Amino acid sequence: MKTPLPHTPALPRYGDLIDVRLTELDDDGLAVARLDWPLHGETRRMRLIARGALPGDLARIHVESRVRDTVHGRLVELLEAAPDRIEPRCRHARYAPKTRYCGGCTLQALDYPGQLALKRQRVLKAFDVAGIAVPVGEVVPAPKTFGHRHKMELSFASDRRDGETRPTELGLHPPGLKWEVIDLQECPLTSATMSAFLPTLSAIFKRSGLLAWDPRDDQGFLRNLVIREGQRTSDKLIEILTTPRELVTAYGVEMSATEALDRLKIEILDSAHISKIEISSLLWTIHDAERGRPTRYHTSILHGRGSLTEELVVPSKSGDRTLSFDVSPRAFFQPHPLAAENLIRQIHRRLPPTCRTVLDLYCGTGTLALTIAPSAESVLGIEIVPEAIASAIANAQRNGLTHCRFIAGDVHAELSRLRTDEPEVLASVDAALLDPPRSGLSVQALDTLVAIRPPRMIYVSCKPESLGRDLRRLFAQGYRVDGEATPVDLFPQSHHVETVVTLVDTLAAGTHS
């Protein structure tokens, strides 16, 4: 809906109020409206992006800024609610004027069927913008929409306005405010027990008197708190990340950082025991970052062991099989493990009946490679991060998957090397699994992949816009989509969506027109 506005001699500016019907989501999950803005007898077409609003809302928007023909604002009054709007479960997701709210769950005020519909629309729009015709199936829903997160990364902040330092807060950043955090009282994305424990954790760090690190002056000690929870195991891991400072002011006196962490450990473990929470690992990681050299992490175990165990139930030729993963602090693991099992089943359905070799590009810690290994004679994974490859190798050994091989290196460079050094390996590839970063395939990686010409490719995308661009490029090289694109929801309460697509080589099949 393009909204006509009264004649005005000026473009929107800070403080203006605009009543408008929001119509869609942008790539960041924020509601958008199209404006026809009268200006000196002509109509100026503009785009309005509103925090706190949903598609379908008729809302009064307070203008905060304008960049050329894009207006940014926030909801100040809901004039007519979208038909699928609901009351958010989390208090920090309930938008109110002049109130800091959490920007992590952009769709929590939308009922779940409405969330799935918007995710499918996002995929359809991405393909339309790319100029390609691909059928899109219904979104595979997540088995849990709350209490599902494997990992939550919280930030510390110490408010230093007016020359006064206020107690350190632990939480998540409000939208657009990277120096502040909301002092979390709950987070329903975590388990109910951990959500209830968050205020206790926050109080512990406040009592310590330790200051949060502030990048503007490189002062402070506390950086982040990472919580990992097993979905199929009872493991819970808490990691405290700090700067490398050796002396700190804590509990009212100067002491060594080690002494401060020892006291924090006692408080956290005692409080967890009272709350009937068993913490399997408590870690202290020094985040050592200096401009001009790679960031280094030094991890000490304060309690338990240095990692977390998670399990995934995956299909194989002989039926479902449970795989066990040792997840280290720096390792990536699927944020919603139970929904990831849906994604894995979509991949399995797309594998050819007989797989000699599956090539897993951007394999990360090998999660997808290992879950498809029971259905293939061999799996070859490539990933640029050496630590991720080390984790993949360890987890392959842990599960007795001896036919998996992992290579640390750039995808383009390693594929080029394999073409020269091991052409017989690439000749045996029956399917290539692509799970690139949000930016999609680089031009070099795509060109090298096309030169290898795997007969089948299974593309797993976390950004529909990148997927649309890459599919257009692959279509130009003789590939086409087999079946339909299937969106899979791994991120309930947000606009993010995974999409799985199968491509086949029509040149090799002799069907390319």
Q: Are residue 262 and residue 329 in the same domain, yes or no? A: no
How many helices (DSSP H) and strands (DSSP E) are in the chain? 11, 26
Q: Of 304, 337, 360, which closes a domain?
A: 304
Neighbour tally for 34: CB within 10 Å = 16
**Domain extent at residue 290:** 151-304
Confidence band (pLDDT; 50, 70, 90) for 212?
A: very high
Q: Are residue 34 and residue 64 in the same domain, yes or no? A: yes
Q: Are residue 392 and residue 492 in the same domain, yes or no? A: yes
Query: What is the per-residue pLDDT across 278-318, written as a single tens digit (0 to 9) for each?
Result: 999 999 999 998 888 888 999 999 999 999 999 999 988 77
Q: Of 280, 304, 328, which closes a domain?
A: 304
Dist. CA 285–CA 302, nearest whole Å:
10
From 458, 457, 464, 465, select the one nearest 489 (Cα to Cα).
464
Q: Are residue 180 and residue 139 in the same domain, yes or no? A: no
From 358, 360, 404, 402, select the one nearest 382 (Cα to Cα).
360
Rounded to 5 degrees, φ, ψ at 402 are -80, -10
Q: Are residue 169 and residue 288 in the same domain, yes or no? A: yes
From 238, 250, 252, 249, select the one nearest 305 (Cα to Cα).
238
* Given the residues 105, 187, 363, 462, the one annotated as active site: 462
Structural contact between residues 141 and 335, judged by C-beta atoms closer than 8 angstroms = no
Give the helix ranges, DSSP H, for 365-486.
367-372, 386-398, 411-421, 423-427, 443-452, 464-476
CATH assignment of the domain containing 16: 2.40.50.140
DSSP one-letter code for 163: G
Helix axes 443-452, 464-476, angle to 10 degrees: 40
CATH assignment of the domain containing 248: 2.40.50
Using alpha carbons only, how large is the chain's radius of gyration in Å?
25
Quick one: pLDDT at residue 161? 63
Quick one: pLDDT at residue 4? 47
Question: What letter represents residue 222's amino acid?
Answer: L
Query: Residue 429 above 70 pLDDT?
Result: yes
Q: Are residue 66 and residue 168 in the same domain, yes or no? A: no
Q: Are residue 458 and residue 357 in the same domain, yes or no? A: yes
DSSP one-letter code for 485: B
User: Residue 438, exposed/middle/buried by CB under 10 A (0-12, 13-18, 19+)?
Assistant: exposed
CATH assignment of the domain containing 456: 3.40.50.150
**Structural domain contains residue 111:** no
**Structural domain contains residue 102:** no
Give the helix ranges, DSSP H, for 278-421.
337-350, 367-372, 386-398, 411-421
Q: Are residue 376 and residue 409 in the same domain, yes or no? A: yes
Mean pLDDT of 431-441: 94
Query: What is the per-residue pLDDT across 382-413, written as a single tens digit (0 to 9) for each?
Result: 999 898 899 999 999 999 999 999 999 999 99
Q: Are residue 56 and residue 194 in the same domain, yes or no? A: no
Q: Are residue 300 and residue 313 in the same domain, yes or no? A: no
**Structural domain contains residue 114:** no
Coil, strand, or helix at residue 81?
coil
Q: Are residue 270 and residue 335 in the same domain, yes or no? A: no
Quick one: pLDDT at residue 27? 83
Q: Are residue 322 and residue 433 in the same domain, yes or no? A: yes
Global pTM reads 0.90
Query: Residue 162 above 80 pLDDT?
Result: no
Q: Of 304, 332, 366, which closes a domain?
A: 304
Mean pLDDT of 36-58: 89
Mean pLDDT of 201-228: 93
Of 227 and 331, which is predicted with more confidence?
227
462 assigned to active site = yes
Mean pLDDT of 180-208: 94
**Structural domain contains residue 109:** no
**Structural domain contains residue 105:** no
**Structural domain contains residue 101:** no
Query: Residue 415 above 60 pLDDT?
Result: yes
Question: What letter represents residue 380's amino acid?
Answer: L
Dist. CA 15–CA 150, nearest whole Å:
41
How many domains, the chain?
3
**Structural domain contains residue 89:** no
Cα angle 383, 414, 363 (rounded to 5 degrees) comes to 20
| Lowest mean per-residue pLDDT among 31-40, 97-106, 213-222, 244-253 | 97-106
